[in-house]
A and B are shown apart, each in its own frame.
Chain A
Amino acid sequence: EPEVTQTPSHQVTQMGQEVILRCVPISNHLYFYWYRQILGQKVEFLVSFYNNEISEKSEIFDDQFSVERPDGSNFTLKIRSTKLEDSAMYFCASRQGANLYGYTFGSGTRLTVV
């Protein structure tokens, strides 16, 4: 069963530091996403990415956030200057194409900002 792989599984960072969360989507998937889940809350959409550009972003995805697909396999989320409230589980997801088949999530990166 193809998987979306996320690294690291857990990251602790100091407030104000930059952090990069990494994801390897399923190889033949075309659409990529980042979602966030603050502890005990629901999963929230951050950003979608297709054809090497952002196709939609939420209000949460402000100027501190950026995404990149640097080499055709990795998909990264960068937070430039982390805040305490950025502490959350971050999920990467990918899907193949039409009709939302195979909308698959990675196992998440738990980010703790101290």
Chain B
Amino acid sequence: AQKVTQAQTEISVVEKEDVTLDCVYETRDTTYYLFWYKQPPSGELVFLIRRNSFDEQNEISGRYSWNFQKSTSSFNFTITASQVVDSAVYFCALSEKGFGNEKLTFGTGTRLTIIP
């Protein structure tokens, strides 16, 4: 069974600091997909990134970067030069390659607070 662990329940940093959100996953499949979603106080789920298991290249998008390491089953998310608008709950999620019903298994989320 697939599982996602986000050990950091809450993180607070001062604005402009860098912050890394950890995500560790478990799966028996060799083909799987990893996601990060942002949930701001308004409640919606905002897609940030999708990564498949065969693509271990790290990705950078503006102030956001992701480090995917299959050897440690981790998919960590770093925000550089954090801003108050980054305050939200961040969820990591995993989906195994199935036969059309690829559900997402979410971690418990990390609540990030950026202090002005």
Contacts and interface: CB of A to CB of B under 8 A. Distances in A.
Partners in one complex: yes
Interface of A: 31, 33, 35, 41-45, 48, 50, 55-56, 58, 89, 91, 93, 95, 99-101, 103-108, 110
Interface in B66-116: 91, 93, 95, 100-109
B100 A43 contact: no
A50 B100 contact: yes
A61 B37 CA distance: 24
A108 B43 contact: yes
In terms of DSSP, what is the predominant structure of the interface of chain A?
strand
B106 A105 contact: no
A42 to B, nearest CB: 5
B45 A91 contact: yes
A43 B91 contact: yes
A33 B102 CA distance: 10
Contacts of B104: 35, 43, 45, 93, 103
Contacts of A106: 44
A64 B103 CA distance: 21
B108 A50 contact: no
Contacts, number: 61
A54 B100 CA distance: 11
Contacts of B93: 43
Contact of B100 (A45, A55, A99): A55
Nearest to A104: B47
B33 interface: yes
26 contacts: A31-B100, A33-B103, A41-B108, A42-B106, A42-B107, A45-B103, A45-B104, A45-B105, A48-B100, A48-B101, A48-B103, A55-B101, A58-B103, A91-B45, A93-B104, A95-B102, A100-B102, A103-B50, A105-B44, A106-B44, A107-B43, A107-B44, A108-B43, A108-B44, A108-B45, A110-B43
Contacts of A101: 50
Contacts of B105: 45
A43 B45 contact: yes
